[in-house]
Structures are given as structure tokens and as C-alpha cells.
Structure 1
């Protein structure tokens, strides 16, 4: 069963600042809960290590489309099945709307239970809030990559069909030693 998440936030920085910061993928653990590491392998490929709903997952992802100040779209190529895009729209000269559109395939009992509790949706919303605090607190980006990537076509928002070759986790998923109960009232939940 595929799950889709759409979240939007406005950040009080120019569109180029918001976009430039988002292209610094290795900085994601600073504002994305559960993301332990993002290692940029080259201009188009990254390796992710994250804990999602108490399950440690790893996957490789490829940038399918990247348009400066407008969009970054990706799909997993190995490991956890996910795809999506982040869109950047100027509201005015010093304010930007950031819209995240994500599609993923929960696997196993723990992830499916977490999916029913909307854990990834809540995490995405919290991560956008953290991104807002991070970039507004800095006021400037930590770096930028202004290149353009088009995988031979202009995409809308890629869904998991773009990640079809990554169906399954190749044995890389496992319940984390710090997994938390699915009970939303449990104080150990961090979102």
C-alpha cells in the first residue's frame, strides 16, 4: 500500500536561500528527525541512513530533476521504497513557500502500524518546521549547488513507480534498539 504525504510551509528567506540550503543534502540530519546520515555520492546520487517508526532503514536515492530555485525531485534506487519532490515558490522577495510531496511504501508490521498512526506525515511536518527554524536562524545557506538535472524529461512529482526497482529493503531494515511504542501518548516519541 502506497502512502502519500503533502506538506507546505513558508520560510522567511529569499527563494534562492531556501533552495540552496535544501541542496546541501549532507546537512539534512541537522533538521530532519530520524535521519542519521545522508552521504552525497555524486551530483545525482545519495545514500541515506534513517530511523523511521522505530525501524532503521538505508537506501540509495537518485535526483531525477533539479531546477534551481524551483524543484528537487528524487526516487530511491535501492533499499526503502520512496520518491517525491520539494518545490520552492517565492511569496515575495524575502519569503518562500516550500512544498514537500512524498510517496513511500511502508514495509513490515512496525512500519505499517506507524503508517496508520501517520508517523511519517507528522515527521514531515515537524521536519519542515525545523527547516524553517534552521534556515531562518542562520539567515544564509551553508552552501549551494545550482546545477540542473533533467533525466530526459520534465517530471511532475515522481511516485513510487519511479522507485519500482528498489521494492524491498534488501535486508537493510531492522527494528532499532531505540524503537518506541506505537502509543501516541508515550513520552519517548520525538515528533
Structure 2
């Protein structure tokens, strides 16, 4: 069984600010609540450590597409099975829309439960809210 989620947030910050926060994966733990750390292995691959209620996960993800101020796509090459893309849309000179889409294969009861109860969606929504605060603070300074 495969699951997917799509979450969108509008940010009072230009695309350039939203992009700069997302394009530096080492900053993701600041706004992705379940990410403990991300380490760059090489130009395309990153080692992730997740803290998920009931289970910690480690995996390696590889960037599959990076288009500045437009999109970042990735898929896992080791560990949990998922792929995602985050896209950036200019609304005005000072506002942007960020859309996160993830496709994954929930393995194990905890992840099945999350997919069934929309916990994943709630977590993604919370994380995009944290990202929004970080981007708007950066844009204001």
C-alpha cells in the first residue's frame, strides 16, 4: 500500500527567501519537527535521522531535481521508501506559496496508523507552519 500527502502554505516572504531556507537541507531540522539531523554525504545524497513517535528512522535520500526558486525533488536510496517534491510559487514580490508532496510506503503499524489517521498530514501541516514562521522572520529582517 502506498500513501501520499500534499500540503501547501502561503508565506509572507518572497520566493527567494522560501527557496534559500529549503535549499539548505541542513536547516530542515529547524522547521521539520520529526527531523533530528541531516548530513550531506556528497553533492546529491544526504543521511537523515528522524524521530517519529514509536520509532526512530535513518535513511539516505538523493536529490533527483533541483531547479532554483522552483522545485526540489528527492527519493530515498536506503532505509524507508519515499519520494517527495517541494515547489515554490511566486504570488507577489513579497509572498510565495510552498507545496510539499510526498509519496511513501508505510511499513509497520506506527506508519500505517499515521497514514490511516492523517497524522502524517497534520505533521506536515505543522511543519509547514513552522517553516512559514521562519521564512517570514527572515523576510522581515
Q: TM-score scaled by structure 2? A: 0.94
Q: Would the aligned equivalents of 1:34 and 1:51 in 2 still touch at CA under 8 Å?
A: yes
Q: Equivalent residue for 1:97? A: 97
Greater share of helix: 2
1:23 matched to which residue of 2?
23
Secondary structure in 1 aligned to 2:91? Answer: strand
- Tell me the matched-pair count: 141
Q: SS at the partner of 1:123?
A: helix
Select the structure of larger CA radius of gyration: 1
Report the TM-score, using the length of structure 1 for normalisation.
0.71
For structure 1, which runs of at least 5 residues remain unmatched after alignment?
142-191
- Report the Cα offset of residue 42 of structure 1: 2.1
Query: Aligned equivalents of 1:140 and 1:45: distance in 2?
Result: 32
Match of 1:40 in 2: 40
Q: For the structure 1 residues 13 and 72, does the alpha-carbon distance in structure 2 shift closer, same or farther, using more than 3 Å as the test?
A: same
Q: Is the 8 A contact 1:55 1:111 kept in 2?
A: no
CA contact (8 A) 2:14 2:139 kept: no
- Residue by residue, what CA displacement relative to the aligned partner does 1:57-101 show, whole Å, maximum 9, x if unpaired? 111000000000100000000001110100001000010010111
Instruction: Give the CA deviation at 1:20.
Output: 1.3
Moved more, 34-43 or 94-103: 34-43
Match of 2:64 in 1: 64
Kindly report structure 1 stretches of 4+ aligned residues shifted beyond 4 Å. none
Q: Is the 8 A contact 2:4 2:102 kept in 1?
A: yes
